[in-house]
Amino acid sequence: MIRSGVGGELSRGDLRLRIEASGRELRRAITSVLEAVAGPRPRPTRVARAIGLDKSLASRLVRSVRATSDLDLMHFVPSPGGLHIFADLARKHADPASIEHLRAAADRFAELLDVVPGGRASIDAQIAESSRVALEKREHIAKQASFKAMSFLLGHFCDVLTTSLFLVPSANGRRVDGIEISRRLGLRRMRPSTPLALLSFWGDANDAMKENAIAFETVDGGRPDPMAFLLPEYSSQPMPELDVVRDGDMTTLVLGASAGQAPTQLTSVFRIRNGWAVKPEERLQSLRGYVLTTPCREVVRDVYIAESLYTDASPQVSFGLPAPRVAMRPPRADGQRHFTEVDLTSSIQQLPLGPEPWDMPGVANHSAVVRHVLERTGHRMTRFRGWRFAMTYPLALIEMMWWLTHPNAPEGNGRG
């Protein structure tokens, strides 16, 4: 509950109604004065020139009245102080009644901000639940701030991180293998003494001896040397010396404190042998999870499925706090979230397989890397269906999961 200014309380529904009512009043008041200043179709430059108003403030006023809903207007509208500045400068162009209406609406907006704990930020959070425009803007601002903070705290960052996961039939025909290419471009250490993990994989060499066991292997098969997971021809040269750190079944390649500058471009590839069942046992199948340990300006993750596999499948993504059973908690169809899930705006694009099917705008030589790997793995002629997920300023240390929906598979229990 949210306390009102007169000792009562505003319920969530009451607050939304009050926000919308304020939006309706401000729309009428601002529109009337804007039209008096700059005509029936005002533009920010015309408003700014007519009354000497700051251009950014003029732009926010025009965007406000162009908003498709009163909730969206309340996200864009300037502060009550900005509205009073507009009223003062516009008084020579608009009639006194319109100016007073605008002032009164601005004052009631200020009263609303005063009674809501958290003020404008809390109101924006309420708006974001119903307004995609407000949600995406506030989320972008928050993610950008998180990127800057985590880059400083962790001591490193990356401009672009990409993964391309290819699902292909296993040699035995009973399982599905994965081939994954990872790339980091613009990798930087902000503090030279910060150890930087570049690549991690799990499993034991003895797994290769077990039939149908899941195992991580190099692009050519086997696990002779962790450095063999790197593609030096598509990485910065010379490659710095890396430390091999083993922690149980997990092996990590680490750029140590004494290794100098981080490679500005790093490409790696590995196989996941026997990673998935050919016939999924549940309608929603966990495919791949990623925890972003390096803050990035942009992440792009592709999934390609051989045309002979999962012919009716479609992908989706989810985000959550890292937890042991995250792969056992698929997203729910009713929209209710588990307490570990993080609600982030996301979308998936189906990729057309044209003349340059592996192209990734802004990522140098990506098609060449993919062609090189598919040639070495014997899949140059394999036909794939592909999807792409891209996000600017993805949250570090949050786990992203790829899921495949199989409409004809048995209905699972939905939660682990």
Give the chain's radius of gyration (CA, Å): 27
What is the reported pLDDT for 390?
A: 95
Strands annotated E in 113-237 = 156-169, 175-185, 188-189, 196-202, 215-217
Q: Which residues pair with 315 in a beta bridge?
A: 404
Q: Which residue has the higher pLDDT, 283 or 26?
A: 26
Asked if 271 and 168 touch (Cβ cutoff 8 Å), the reply is no
Higher pLDDT, 244 or 388: 388
| H-run or E-run covering 151 | helix 132-154
First-to-last CA distance in the chain? Answer: 32
Which amino acid does the sequence have at 123?
Answer: I
**Residue 362 exposed, middle or buried by CB count within 10 Å (0-12, 13-18, 19+):** exposed
Most confident of 115-124, 298-307, 404-413: 298-307
Give the confidence band of 413 by pLDDT, cuts at 50, 70, 90: very low
Produce one character per residue of 190-225: b if its CB has 16 or more CB atoms within 10 Å, e if not. eeeeeebebbbbebeeebeeeeeebbbbbbeeebee
Backbone angles phi, psi at 166, to 5 degrees: -110, 125
- Evaluate the omega torsion of the peptide bond into residue 232 and state whether it is cis, within 30 degrees of 0: no
- Per-residue confidence (pLDDT) for residue 372, from 0 to 100: 95
pLDDT of residue 224: 63
Tell me how crowded residue 411 is: count the other CB atoms within 10 A of its CB: 8
Most confident of 27-41, 63-77, 197-211, 333-347: 27-41
**Both tokens assigned to 219:** 């692009």
- pLDDT tens digits, one per residue of 288-300: 999 999 999 999 9
Section 245-263 average pLDDT: 83
* Count of C-beta atoms within a 10 Å radius of residue 276: 20
Rounded to whole angstroms, the Cα distance separating 57 from 83 reads 9
Inter-CA distances, 396 with 57, 81, 188, 357, Å: 34, 36, 15, 29
Interval 100-110 mean pLDDT: 95
Cα–Cα nearest to 341, from 391, 416, 250, 406: 416
Whole-angstrom Cα distance, residue 373 to residue 384? 14
Q: What is the pLDDT of residue 393?
A: 95
Residue pLDDT, tens place only, 163-188:
999 999 998 888 999 999 999 999 99
Query: Is pLDDT of 333 > 90?
Result: no
**Cα angle vertex 279, ends 277, 283, to 5°?**
100
Q: For residue 188, which amino acid is it?
A: R
Q: Which pLDDT belongs to residue 206?
A: 58
In this structure, the number of other CB atoms found within 10 A of the CB of residue 63 comes to: 16
Indicate yes or no: pTM above 0.75.
Answer: no
Lowest average pLDDT, out of 102-111, 264-273, 332-341, goes to: 332-341
Per the listing, tokens 């993805």 go with 394
Domain coordinates of the chain in residue numbers?
A: 2-130, 141-405
Share of the chain above pLDDT 70, in %: 90
DSSP state of 230: B
Confidence of residue 256 (pLDDT cuts 50, 70, 90): confident
386 pLDDT tier (thresholds 50, 70, 90)? very high
Across all residues in the chain, what is the average pLDDT? 86
Q: So what's the pLDDT on residue 414? A: 44
**Percentages (nearest 5) of helix, strand, coil residues in the chain:** 35, 25, 40
Q: What span, in angstroms and rounded, lies between the C-alpha atoms of 41 and 184?
A: 47
CA distance 216 to 195: 24
Widest distance between CA atoms in the chain? 86
**Whole-Å CA distances, 403 to 174, 299, 400:** 20, 18, 10
Phi-psi region of 217 (alpha: psi -120 to 50; beta: other; left: phi over 0): beta
Is pLDDT of 7 > 70?
no
Counting DSSP H helices and E strands in the chain, the numbers are 9, 16
Q: Band the pLDDT of 11: cuts 50, 70, 90.
A: low
The answer to whether residues 87 and 33 touch, using CB atoms and an 8 Å cutoff, is: yes
For residue 210, the model assigns a pLDDT of 62
